[in-house]
Amino acid sequence: MMSQTHIGYTYWQQPDQNNMPEVGEIPLQENAEMGVGVQGLESVVTGNGSTTTLPAFDPFNDQEFYIEIFNKGQKPFEHHIQKKPSWLELSEEKGTIEDQKRLKVQVNWGKAPKGSSTCSFQVNGTYKQVTIKVPVQNFNKGKIQGFVESNGFISMEADNFSENVQVDGKGWQLIPNLGRTGAAMTSFPHEPTQQEVSKDNPYLAYDFYSFTQGKAEVEFYLSPTIDFRNQGGLEFAYSVDDGAPQVINMQGQTKDNWDTSVANNVTKVSVTVNFNPGNHTLKVWAIETGIVLQKIVIITGEKKNSYLGPPESAKVK
């Protein structure tokens, strides 16, 4: 293994000898030119008078987002921030950009306006001006309970449940460190084989609060498990609030093939639900042994590519 060639792979088999890959150099223009990127967006802005938007801030998640100011030329340039509201805090308001610099943005919630609003500030440099819009949702805690929606998603780790209801000491059990981003919960109902789903089954409950009305996608992150009994797939069920449990077949309702599931250490299964803004409870019912739940993500806005899924949402108790 140690003497095997290591450099120059173009597919799974090693090359006959170490081959240095071709290296290219991208020449920079001599004069400085400012560009700006913001967290959460793949595209950047470089034109004078351009506008881009940060993700939304809220006091429950108390986010710290960033903007990236970068130089497309060889010479350094000076930047400065203008027209910023006093309750918006930046890690630096003026300075020199040689290559690139990341500025952190936070909200002072004691001074921020109440309700839903959008403010902005301007980044100036190299005779250019870029406007950064900042959506702010400064809502009171009120009767909010559980995980709180932010920027189009609600993310919940499996072991951070609101309630674990077991039957005769059987139900969902914790397996520390098994999930990709935390612990996992695995199902042990009273009987290991498939059972009829009913409200007498053991379940996990997850309280959450949504600001969105209408359709949402619920994505369950499961550890890859084969249909070891060869009975048509492993099953569990879900319900929202007082709705009847709906059965999900792990093997039958996933778009992931086995190779993808094993490589990523997760099998994703998605369902579509409808609910109004407010407090809700998602229940995950144990029907048979073998289901391993790592994470739940409720997507209410644009679905973005992410290997591990969005970080866990803030939880209000």
**Digit-coded pLDDT (tens) for 186-220:** 999 878 887 888 888 999 999 999 999 999 999 99
Does any domain span residue 2? no
CATH number of the domain to which 310 belongs: 2.60.120.1620
Phi, psi of 261 (to 5 degrees): -60, -45
- Average pLDDT value over all residues in the chain: 94
Cα-Cα-Cα-Cα torsion 231, 232, 236, 240, nearest 10 degrees, comes to: -150
The reported pLDDT for the residue numbered 53 is 97
User: Total structural domains in the chain?
Assistant: 2
DSSP character string of 198-213: -TTS-EEEEEEEE---
Residue 127: domain span: 34-138
Does any domain span residue 21? no
**199 lies in the same domain as 94:** no
**179 lies in the same domain as 116:** no
**124 lies in the same domain as 212:** no
**97 lies in the same domain as 119:** yes
- Cβ of 156: how many Cβ atoms within 10 Å? 21
Taking the C-alpha atoms of residue 206 and residue 192, their distance in angstroms, rounded to an integer, is 24
Q: Is the pLDDT of residue 305 over 90?
A: no
**Domain end: 75, 109, 138, which one?**
138
Does any domain span residue 115? yes
Q: Are 236 and 222 in contact (CB under 8 A)?
A: no
The reported pLDDT for the residue numbered 190 is 79
The reported pLDDT for the residue numbered 268 is 97
**133 lies in the same domain as 177:** no
The reported pLDDT for the residue numbered 198 is 83
**Domain end: 138, 159, 189, which one?**
138
**114 lies in the same domain as 263:** no
**Domain end: 86, 121, 138, which one?**
138
